[in-house]
Amino acid sequence: NIKNREPEMSRLKGPAMSRRTFLSTTAGASLIALHPFSAHASAGQAHLRIMETTDLHVHVWPYDYYGDRAVDTVGLARTAAHISDIRAEASNSMLLDNGDLIQGNPMGDYIAYERGMKAGDMHPIIEAMNVVGFDAATIGNHEFNYGLEFLMNSTAGSNFPFVLANVATAQGAGPRDDTTLFQPYVILDRTVVDGSGAEHALKVGIIGFTPPQIMNWDRKHLEGNVEVRDIVATAKAFVPQMKEAGADIIIALSHSGIGPESGEMLENASVPLAAVEGIDAIMTGHHHLVFPGPRYEATSAVDPEKGTIHGKPAVMGGFWGSHLGVIDLLLENEGGAWRVVSHESATRAISKRNEDRSITALVESQPDVLEATASAHEET
Ligand code: MN
Ligand code: MG
């Protein structure tokens, strides 16, 4: 039932208003239902909701630059509308990105090849993310496509930390001795509200990984400048260090798909990564698929209905902003130590495909995200 394809353009360009129907409720925050973990948490229990975007590939506007037309299937401006709702449903929430940010559409190429990315310049995907408000992000393989200087200048503008554990400018005897390109992990100090309304300190450890195959895919940029390590071996080295540093829970940002159960230097290492002791939840990506969901087969390790890998909650939020990944954790404090006592994994789509193959938008773009990137969009 969507006829007009240009509501965002008209919003910014003035009076050429268009009419459009969105399926989603127009309910305000007062009608948003609390998630059961938030509604039923007892004293000493806290609901922590962790949201994931992945493989955005510079898609901020719901726009197909090749067809020069608005579309309903992509764009962080749309995903951001879900984020606002989802934050309202939970007592405590965090937002993470899983990488492949700065390359992948004409706006990315415009910045890389025409406008340029000098020190101090802002990359539009980072500008958009700063508006949405992320807690941390990792680095995807495509972040290396334009070279290291472009990458470092792009990420420098973020108001959230980037983490990446398995890429180093100088390798030592083991991962913990490496000089990593980005900090391998962060431990974020957060205050969570429990079921009785009491506040607790929570240290959330976040560690990131990218496929070691970047050395082949972007050899001209990387050879002689960085070295890579196996994702799982790197995790086994750093996760105990994160625990020693006080992390109450640990979330892995795995820019890596859900693939084989074992192997050396795996491109898609999220299954063995989930088995690493100390990791509580896995954000996956790189495959451009949706998890939980029917595109993955059930195995002894992977439950594609429940959204678990080795029994731990995992998500993959599609690509280009198509979905938001959501992991809900119910945490319980026992003698000062937090543990996950219950969890759920889900995704939320920004659009749906109808039986006649038409597309219905499920959310409307968040105007401030569009406005932050309007000039880069128009120039593209
Ligand atoms: Mn990707
Ligand atoms: Mg990728």
Closest CA to 282 of 254, 322, 302, 241: 254
Please tell me the distance between residue 361's alpha carbon and the centre of ligand 1 in angstroms: 23
**Which residues surround the ion ligand 1 when the cut-off is CB under 5 Å?**
55, 100
State in Å: Cα 333 to ligand 1 middle: 37
**C-alpha of residue 137 to centroid of ligand 2, in Å:** 14
| Whole-structure pTM value | 0.92
Distance 57 CA to ligand 1 centre (A): 7
Kindly give the confidence (pLDDT) of every residue in the chain, 380 residues in length, as a single tens digit, with 9 standing for 90 and above: 333 334 444 444 333 333 344 454 444 444 678 999 999 999 999 999 999 999 999 999 999 999 999 999 999 999 999 998 889 999 899 999 999 999 999 999 999 999 999 999 999 999 999 999 999 999 999 999 999 999 999 999 999 999 999 999 999 999 999 999 999 999 999 999 999 999 999 999 999 999 999 999 999 999 999 999 999 999 999 999 999 999 999 999 999 999 999 999 999 999 999 999 999 999 999 999 999 999 999 999 999 999 999 999 999 999 999 999 999 999 999 998 999 999 999 999 999 999 999 999 999 999 999 999 999 999 99
Find out whether 336 and 321 touch, Cβ atoms under 8 Å: no
Task: Give 122 Cα–ligand 1 centroid separation in angstroms.
Answer: 21
**Rounded to the nearest whole angstrom, what is the distance from the C-alpha of residue 116 to the centroid of ligand 2?**
22
Following CA atoms 71, 316, 307, 245 in sequence, which dihedral angle do they give, to the nearest 10 degrees? -140
Distance from residue 59's CA to the centre of ligand 1 (Å): 12
Question: How many Å apart are CA 43 and CA 162, to the nearest integer?
Answer: 33
Distance (Å) from CA 218 to ligand 2 centroid: 13
Is-contact 57 105, C-beta < 8 A?
A: yes
The DSSP annotation for 52-103 comes to: EE---TT--SSEETTTTEE-SS--HHHHHHHHHHHHHTSSEEEEEE-S--S-
Q: Enumerate the H helices of 218-350 as residue ranges.
A: 219-222, 231-244, 270-274
The C-alpha atoms of residue 143 and residue 101 are separated, in whole angstroms, by: 7
Cα(218) to centroid of ligand 1, in Å? 14
CA of 258 to the centre of ligand 1 (A): 14
Which is nearest to 181 in space by CA: 217, 218, 228?
A: 228
Ligand 2 centre to CA of 287 (Å) is 7
